[in-house]
Chain A
Amino acid sequence: MSIDVPTTGRALPELQPVRFIGANGQPADTDTAGLTPPSLSTLLGLYRQMVHVRRFEAQVTALTKQGRLATYPSAAGQEATEVGATTALGPTDWLFPTYRDSAALLTRGVPVAEILAAFRGDWHCGFNPYEYHISPAATPLATQTLHATGYAMASKLKRRGECTLTFFGDGASSEGDAHEALNFASVWQTPTVFVLQNNQYAISTPLRAQSNATMFADRAAGYGIPGIRVDGNDVAAVFAAVSAALERARDGEGPTLIECLTYRIESHTNSDDPTRYRDSAEVDHWKQLDPIDRVEKYLRSHGALDDVGNEEILASAEVLAASVRDAMNTDSELDPTEIFAHVYANPRTHLREQQAILEAELAEAGRR
């Protein structure tokens, strides 16, 4: 009797990350793994969105420092991965993000106030997942990778053609759920794209304390799926790799692991102090590899962007920032008894009793 040996995805990916646009905006001369770069007009749209995202992150970080939000994990420096991957999704595809991925939510059109409801302390998830095809941002690390796999399995069983994309970090990659998700997705051949944002830190823990593998993308081979490492600061590479993975997924060819090599420029959250674990020279080095500068240079050198066009983009980012300030400077109206409203589909007597206690307390305090 012969053993059935799947042979897909056995080749190890290239060590050199796939890159279309170099750090100075020049076309890169590295191997691009047969991927097709986005058109100039797509790239211009990606650039515009990255500028918006950066302004958004800066504004939210500032408001958090002013105490308008409880906490905020910024993705500054990771705009190419956030925007490139999210933009590649089709309208019916689903995104399974983490706390780090507000930029992705913004890119997919979730209103600012709904994105920030969680960090503001209003509610855990501020948006309707079915409206934007985005699951609530997961904080328990890597749990969402399994949800993405399960959702994709349902899509496959129902032949709905929806793909799923999940973000997870270098730290989260060590969690069992990340492993289980990659394995389930491979065995079930689900239409799932796993985007590992390797920003080289899990809070303070550096990459080499997390994994001793040459690179995360190599793991794909062990699961029997294709893996690829891209320059996560090159939006063209991210967009191309995710688009190709989605196409494979839609064609019934199963999941892909995409490692995006990037860097978290800001602190983990506003309450973190990165000077305790990394020096400014390292941060400065990565600032040289900025994901936005390079696209701007590339677009300008290809005649797709001029000063006037850029001014318009920057001005629209300021409009966005103003809307963030407006949203966060408006006090939210919360009904304390809503904590009882959504626990169960089938109402429970003891929750009604406890709600009555709270209602009486509120009445006593003149809040009812």
Chain B
Amino acid sequence: MTVTALTSTEEDPAPTSVTMAKALNRALHDSLAEDENVVVYGEDVGRLGGVFRVTDGLQAEFGTERVWDSPLAESGIVGTAVGMAMAGMRPVVEMQFDAYAYPAFEQIVSQVAKMRNRTKGRVSLPITIRIPCAGDIGGVEHHSDSSEAYWCATPGLTVVTPSNPADAYSMLRESIASDDPVIFMEPKSRYWMKDQLSLPVTTAPMGRAQVVRAGNDVSLLAYGSTVRTALAAAEVGAEHGLSVEVVDLRSLSPFDDATVSASVRKTSRAAVIHEAAQFGGFGAEVAARVTERNFVHLAAPILRITGFDTPYPPPKLEEHYLPTPERVLDAIETWDWEL
């Protein structure tokens, strides 16, 4: 791909305060500018700029043939993206909220994920499915789901989730450029999180986990919205003399076993943190693979600090459901630290 004299290369002179929503917006903008095969469509993504404004201004700049409002039907949005990708486009589609991706489940699981395999690699589907995910925004029923386990259980999909604006930009650019279909999960509660940043920015490659805080006593494995939770727990832990390492998984599928194992071998204790319910959740996969690879290095069982095994609660009760730094610290206190 050639990067010519487009906005994407106009370096911002100095770091400015950038929200995750803005970083995503800029990533879409730069991908649209760089590759004419990129199109963006979904519910309300055109004139309105999406309910979270992630597509703000894109239709005005690129026109209705590049960015448009589709009919309101998620299976239709993803199913047409399959056809467009077969024809050589790189569609970036938005599911308005995670629970509203479920109507597209069949297209994602039976078509998007399997097309390359069933055609022996002859048909690539470079589709990016953006899904605003998880809770902590006071959303009413169906607006706070965490659906990653469904996607991660599906061979053929790449599943990533950024926890900060820089990764949001870099990983979305990389997702759009990838020849594999990507489920791009955007933690809603972090849309307005700001960092000092100059765009464009290139962070670690998409499939990599990253140690975002170094420590020696315990590895907290987090992704998306729970990275902030883990970092907060690490702060409090430090006040009590606990040295906490925080690993931002970034990519759930593929899973960066190497980085995670290295961290766990160093600390010999690990806990995985996510908002989704525990039973059959992604944390189970993390615990299993970390144990399989590092059993003799572990001083304690791997803990899962997650949402409860209930449907996501109503807004006034969500604070009791979400894993908090306190719950994280309480959980790791249950380990026998004498070992």
Q: Which residues of chain B come closer than 8 Å to A164, judged between CB atoms?
A: 83
Q: Does B226 contact A (CB under 8 A)?
A: no
Determine how close the nearest CB of chain B comes to the CB of A223; give it in whole angstroms. 11
The segment from B43-51, B103-111, B302-310, B331-339 found at the interface with A is B103-111
A341 with B120: CB separation less than 8 A: yes
Smallest Cβ-Cβ distance to A124: which chain B residue:
B118
A344 with B87: CB separation less than 8 A: no
Q: Does B115 contact A (CB under 8 A)?
A: yes
Q: Does A176 contact B (CB under 8 A)?
A: yes
How many angstroms from the CA of A181 to the CA of B75 in the assembled complex?
Answer: 9
Determine how close the nearest CB of chain A comes to the CB of B79; give it in whole angstroms. 3
Q: Does B254 contact A (CB under 8 A)?
A: yes
B71 with A151: CB separation less than 8 A: no
Instruction: List residues of B (105-162) whose CB comes within 8 Å of A's CBs.
Output: 106-107, 110-111, 114-124, 155-156, 158
Smallest Cβ-Cβ distance to A130: which chain B residue:
B122
B86 with A135: CB separation less than 8 A: yes
How many angstroms from the CA of A162 to the CA of B84 in the assembled complex?
Answer: 12
Q: Does B239 contact A (CB under 8 A)?
A: no
Q: Which residues of chain A come closer than 8 Å to B78, judged between CB atoms?
A: 146
Q: Which residues of chain A come closer than 8 Å to B257, judged between CB atoms?
A: 349-350
Q: Does B197 contact A (CB under 8 A)?
A: no
B123 with A181: CB separation less than 8 A: no
How many angstroms from the CA of A214 to the CA of B12 in the assembled complex?
Answer: 63
Instruction: List residues of B (23-74) whose CB comes within 8 Å of A's CBs.
Output: 39, 65, 70-71, 73
How many angstroms from the CA of A96 to the CA of B83 in the assembled complex?
Answer: 10
Contact with B along A327-358 (1 / 0, CB 8 A): 00000000000100111111011100000000
- A151: which of B87, B110, B255 is its contact (CB, 8 Å)? B87
B73 with A180: CB separation less than 8 A: yes
Instruction: List residues of A (170-188) whose CB comes within 8 Å of B's CBs.
Output: 176-177, 180-181, 183-184, 187
B86 with A181: CB separation less than 8 A: no
Q: Does B179 contact A (CB under 8 A)?
A: yes
How many angstroms from the CA of A158 to the CA of B86 in the assembled complex?
Answer: 13
Smallest Cβ-Cβ distance to B120: which chain A residue:
A342
B121 with A341: CB separation less than 8 A: yes
A157 with B179: CB separation less than 8 A: no
Size category, B interface: 35 or more
Q: Which residues of chain B come closer than 8 Å to A345, judged between CB atoms?
A: 116, 121, 124, 178-180
Q: Which residues of chain B come closer than 8 Å to A34, judged between CB atoms?
A: none
B83 with A148: CB separation less than 8 A: yes
How many angstroms from the CA of A284 to the CA of B196 in the assembled complex?
Answer: 77
Query: Total contacts A to B, CB within 8 angstroms?
Result: 147
Q: Given A157-B39, A349-B257, A184 and B179 touching (CB < 8 A)?
A: no
Contact with A along B230-261 (1 / 0, CB 8 A): 00000000000000000000000011010000
A151 with B86: CB separation less than 8 A: yes
B117 with A343: CB separation less than 8 A: yes
How many angstroms from the CA of A98 to the CA of B114 in the assembled complex?
Answer: 16
Contact with B along A133-167 (1 / 0, CB 8 A): 00110101001011111111111011010101000
Q: Which residues of chain B come closer than 8 Å to A342, judged between CB atoms?
A: 116-117, 119-121
- A143: which of B65, B89, B111, B156 is its contact (CB, 8 Å)? B111
Q: Does A62 contact B (CB under 8 A)?
A: no
Q: Does A289 contact B (CB under 8 A)?
A: no
How many angstroms from the CA of A145 to the CA of B118 in the assembled complex?
Answer: 18
B80 with A153: CB separation less than 8 A: yes
Q: Does B82 contact A (CB under 8 A)?
A: yes
Q: Does B301 contact A (CB under 8 A)?
A: no
How many angstroms from the CA of A149 to the CA of B103 in the assembled complex?
Answer: 18
Q: Does A125 contact B (CB under 8 A)?
A: yes
26 contacts across the A-B interface (CB closer than 8 A): A125-B118, A125-B120, A129-B123, A135-B83, A135-B123, A136-B118, A143-B79, A145-B79, A146-B80, A147-B79, A154-B84, A157-B89, A176-B73, A177-B75, A177-B76, A177-B107, A180-B73, A180-B76, A180-B79, A184-B73, A343-B155, A344-B156, A345-B124, A346-B158, A346-B178, A346-B207
Closest 9 CB pairs of A and B: A150-B83, A146-B79, A150-B80, A154-B87, A180-B76, A124-B118, A151-B83, A345-B179, A147-B83
Besides A128-B119, A349-B254, 13 other A-B contacts (C-beta < 8 A): A124-B117, A143-B106, A146-B79, A148-B83, A149-B83, A150-B81, A150-B83, A151-B84, A153-B83, A155-B87, A177-B107, A346-B179, A350-B255
